[in-house]
Amino acid sequence: MTTSDILFRPLRVGSLELANRIVMAPMTRSFAPGGVPGEANAAYYRRRAEGGVGLILSEGTVIDRPASRNDPGIPFFHGDAALAGWKGVIDAVHAGGGKMGPQLWHTGAVKSFLTEWDPDAPLESPSGLDAPGVARGKAMNDADIADTIAAFAKAAGDAKRLGFDTIEIHGAHGYLIDQFFWAGSNLRTDRYGGATIGERSRFAAEVVAAIRAAVGPDFPIILRVSQWKQQEFTARLATTPAEMTDWLQPLVDAGVDVLHCSQRRFWIPEFPEIDGENGLNFAGWAKKLTGAKTISVGSVGLSGDFMAAFSGESSTNAGLDQLIERMERDEFDLIAVGRALISDPNWVNKVRQGESQALRGFDAASLAELV
């Protein structure tokens, strides 16, 4: 058994059977002109499937709401043209031997740091805020909330109909669902607000429940969550395990099968005051507290963290020893890899074959090409 064999165990979640534990992380790079993915997008994902990725999660793709995206190159997951494009993507991935789910998204009030573009429709968020004290857009009313929940469910049902193997809901990084979680951006006094993280999880739980009703009992639902926000890297929704349980357990109870726990560096312990500097990371604690399957993510195989890439920082492949150690102790179930797979579609196969010297380092210039 080689040191990387632990990454190549199969895994089953509901109707989804994976050949290994490596996930291609969602990476939105705005290569869908007019919101419609085309042959280039399909070929891009197929190359990663052929390169050995166990599960591909698409770039963020938005639900049918008037202001659900903050960049004109972000793809839709609604409308005949976009859905036909996504049908071509999933057929290409399956032809390459892969499994895939779209990441369903609503950016809320967040402004893109890559473009000055804004949608024509009014921006929407829980309380008309982008971040604590930063007004942007309008507060959602009951009809807005109900329509948004329905739009998430419709997109998930369309994903299953098109042949996708799973779906991921984006509930992290300061976007719409996360804005409901965050006390700094959710000042509501109705049933979608509240003083506790458990109360502020209601909107997300209703999204999950509606999706579960749309896709049936066995189709896997993944939910991406994070403590940090792009508006505030140091933000924390849960400062104790008890708060984390209050936040995440209602979401699992509503139908989430897998929690995709985003942190900027996967090796950082979540509560070192409890289990030390080599303690469980975010995904480890989420698994321990809820019993759900978890995906960990954060600068895997790289020397720099995710957000630094967008300021032009380059990264080289760092050792995988910490990842192997955590996987061997069954801390989490899957590991997501992002930038390394942008630069090197064959990264997974090279790791499996022990070709560490052949791994290509990441360079920010590769963000500009769909290859």
How crowded is the C-beta side of 353, counted as CA atoms within 13 Å?
Answer: 11
The closest of 299, 327, 325, 295 to 313, measured between CA atoms, is 299
Radius of gyration of the chain (CA): 19
3-state secondary structure of 37: coil
User: What are the catalytic residues?
Assistant: 175
Long-range contacts of 230-239 (CB under 8 A, 24+ apart): 230/110, 230/113, 230/173, 230/174, 230/307, 231/110, 231/130, 231/131, 231/134, 231/174, 232/131, 232/132, 232/174, 232/184, 233/264, 233/307, 235/182, 235/184, 237/181, 237/182, 237/197, 238/197
Nearest to 100 by CA among 37, 28, 162, 149: 162
DSSP state of 214: H
Rounded to an integer, what distance in angstroms lies between the CA atom of residue 195 and that of residue 199? 7
3-state secondary structure of 259: strand
337 - beta bridge partners?
24
Q: Which residue is listed with tokens 């458990």? A: 198
Residue 352 burial class via C-beta count within 10 angstroms: exposed 0-12, middle 13-18, buried 19 and up: middle
Round to whole Å and give the CA distance between 100 and 44: 13
Q: Name beta bridge partners: 324.
A: none
Q: Are 182 and 204 in contact (CB under 8 A)?
A: no
DSSP 209: H
Q: Is residue 223 exposed (0-12), middle (13-18) or buried (19+ Cβ within 10 Å)?
A: buried
| 8-state DSSP, 362 | B
Task: Tell me how long the chain is.
Answer: 371
Enter the DSSP assignment of 190: S
